A and B are shown apart, each in its own frame.
Chain A
């Protein structure tokens, strides 16, 4: 009797909750236009690990950026949920005719959390400390992302023209430069606070951002409070708590119990239960990532296009998605993820067709197949949760067309070293995008210059036409023209098949129904400006 009452009440709640969930959706849409969220409340965000440090230019891990994003603003920022950029601390900018300098007009009246004024000098300070070796705070580095994004080869000087005008002089025309400025490492820091705190700045960050840093309990929680003097009016939460709960299922249990409001990285097995829970909604979006199997084109028989195409025909991606990704992944046909501008959706993927694969192999001179190695990463990555399992599925499918594979794996650091040195035959790897620019995928992963060891292009695929298209797109500031070039590049990629594109993992963020205004950012940021709690 008791049981049936419970079920009845669950059913009732479900009935009530469905229309309510829709109503919530509509409100959300309205709010992003109007910006009329409700003030107040504490939001607890449960995540898998602690930040390493909170100086965004020093760190490389997402967990650190979650905290830094709350504290710092950039000159430009990503449109919520998109890869395009919009003004932030810079109100506008102008690109010189020769594409060799960009001048930013800064927002006036903005203050850092320590009360000092935000001016052009802070912008110069923020960047010069990352590349001028004689800068007094250069030694607080290493400034890793500055290096990753190759900024020293892009930026020549950062000049304060007046208090509210900054000019970046560039060494070469570089279209992705603007997107780089929206990345975490380009968050504007308070010079006064860096001077005061030195090494300790990364533990007590000071920026102009929507939230002020309050307290950090190691491996437990970081606590922020609303910046009441923020320059925009869409900061609603009084407090933001980033709480560490390392185990995915434990995070889900904490959400069920209502101890936390939003959960990061849910485990794929729990997703269905979350979607069924009337108190919870799950936001989903393809992440800015790709998992792939690269064919080492410097080795036989992978130098032969027909072999690479045959291997593409031999794999049933649906089986991989079902077995490994579940609802947390979609099959990939392009090296770019679908949330990226210039994604070419007209491209047709190689269908699963073992007969065609065999025929191509025979045409290439391998009627009985061949033996080779299949490398699989030892660790779960955002773009590939279980490379070993994928390797086993591939092994069976390749065997059907006569290609015998040994699965090989190394400790993670060693794996990266060896693939960088192109020691593999076929190797799985992947990429998570940084700045939302297609160049950040195609150039680093597939261009000819990236094919030299240590190679980012571990297929070691050198296609002159492809690389030329990318090089032109890199120097073109006009986005329409760039889109055209990247779409063409994706066609060449598909035809030449240096990779077998496996999947894009889908980012899922479950949260209480009461959480409004949250967006999944393709770049992996977690942004709490604009988020409010419906009471």
Chain B
């Protein structure tokens, strides 16, 4: 197993090299010159030329590419063209926010999705099933920005349960160490016994997590349902029922465990998608995350920032896939990792 994990981690390098190369050339060959975008309506020819030279854009493409690779090999992701700050630093500030949000969204989506899926499957063709599956269809097709705004209007403005956006009450000042606010606020609880920060962080997290988790929730529910239906038809389930084992135990102990494989896959993929797909949620909920940052960087043709962001997300994506494969072997001993 250890060997397998090492091998899979080793595969990260060619994967990332592929990603970096692809992204580099996609950005470099797409129309639009970063200097032009930065300087806007009022740029003079000299200013453009000088900025291009400063940014190394006047050098041949292959030279830019190899010098970039060289720097990455030294774990230097360069400086953002727009802000001039090291890309690594910006990512360290923003990525935890996205991770926190995506993790919470997936937690909600997985728990709720599996429960709804199982109920639907066991009560197939009943009202409960129809309602859940139509609900799931809505969930999948719901525009996130619309859902987000509706959630804010109802639960924040009308009922005043939650704040409209942000990660923490703006008037609080909490010392940030990891930039994972839940962790930082827990540290604050231990240090000072002050629960305010944790409460505020949780309150801020719920609405965006629900908004972001809705689509995965619907997909997970549907996958769970079909996977469960498949398993429930199998002979061993019939046998178990015939043997008089309580239905609850049949469903949750025997059937669900075998139905989990495709669900885990879907959860893994959805989690990866959430990381890059959180842009809309981050925008609506003023969540200072990496999705929005990458989006802005793309519009500004900020190569180093886009590359850095994508490298980080790809790495996490690959790691999650690895985790999914390991979970496979835990859930199903027939799967051996070699």
Chain A residues near B (Cβ < 8 Å)? 42, 44, 49, 52-53, 60, 142, 144, 147-148, 199, 202-203, 215, 217-221, 241, 243-247, 249-250, 253-254, 256-257, 259, 410-414, 416-417, 429, 431, 444, 454, 456
Q: How large is the interface on B (under 10, 10 to 19, 20 to 34, 35 or more residues)?
A: 35 or more
List the 5 closest A-B pairs by CB distance, nearest first: A219-B288, A413-B36, A413-B32, A245-B286, A220-B288
Are B31 and A414 in contact, CB atoms less than 8 angstroms apart? Answer: yes
Are A254 and B165 in contact, CB atoms less than 8 angstroms apart? Answer: yes
What 1/0 mask marks residues of chain B from 162 to 182 whose CB sits below 8 Å from any chain A CB? 011111001101000000000
Nearest CB of B to A187, in Å = 18
> Is the C-beta of B315 less than 8 angstroms from some C-beta in chain A?
no
Taking CB atoms, residues of chain B closer than 8 Å to A44 are 170
Nearest CB of A to B176, in Å = 8
Select from chain B the residue with minimum beta-carbon distance to A453. B45
Are B292 and A246 in contact, CB atoms less than 8 angstroms apart? Answer: yes
Select from chain B the residue with minimum beta-carbon distance to A245. B286
Choice from B32, B46, B164 contacting A414 with Cβ under 8 Å: B32
A147, A215, A241 pick with most chain B CB within 10 angstroms: A147
Docked pose: A367 CA to B84 CA in angstroms: 57
Docked pose: A241 CA to B7 CA in angstroms: 49
Q: Given A142-B54, A203-B85, answer yes or no on A250-B288 (Cβ-Cβ < 8 Å).
A: no
Select from chain A the residue with minimum beta-carbon distance to B163. A259
Are A142 and B47 in contact, CB atoms less than 8 angstroms apart? Answer: yes
Query: At the interface with chain A, which of B101-109, B124-132, B152-160?
Result: B152-160
What 1/0 mask marks residues of chain B from 4 to 32 whose CB sits below 8 Å from any chain A CB? 00000000000000000000000000111
Q: Given A256-B157, A414-B32, answer yes or no on A250-B285 (Cβ-Cβ < 8 Å).
A: yes
Are B284 and A250 in contact, CB atoms less than 8 angstroms apart? Answer: yes
A203, A219, A244, A259 pick with most chain B CB within 10 angstroms: A219
A60-B40, A246-B282 known; 4 new pairs, CB 8 Å cut-off, are A49-B296, A218-B94, A429-B41, A454-B44
Taking CB atoms, residues of chain B closer than 8 Å to A249 are 149
Are A413 and B164 in contact, CB atoms less than 8 angstroms apart? Answer: no
> Is the C-beta of B123 less than 8 angstroms from some C-beta in chain A?
no
> Is the C-beta of B33 less than 8 angstroms from some C-beta in chain A?
yes
Are B39 and A410 in contact, CB atoms less than 8 angstroms apart? Answer: no
Docked pose: A452 CA to B78 CA in angstroms: 37
Taking CB atoms, residues of chain A closer than 8 Å to B50 are 142
Taking CB atoms, residues of chain A closer than 8 Å to B54 are 142
Taking CB atoms, residues of chain A closer than 8 Å to B148 are 250
Are B286 and A250 in contact, CB atoms less than 8 angstroms apart? Answer: yes
Nearest CB of B to A304, in Å = 28
Are A219 and B293 in contact, CB atoms less than 8 angstroms apart? Answer: yes
Choice from B51, B85, B282 contacting A142 with Cβ under 8 Å: B51
B83, B145, B160, B289 pick with most chain A CB within 10 angstroms: B83
Select from chain A the residue with minimum beta-carbon distance to B37. A413
Nearest CB of A to B294, in Å = 12
Q: Given A52-B83, A243-B170, A416-B36, answer yes or no on A218-B42 (Cβ-Cβ < 8 Å).
A: no
Taking CB atoms, residues of chain A closer than 8 Å to B45 are 454
Select from chain B the residue with minimum beta-carbon distance to A219. B288
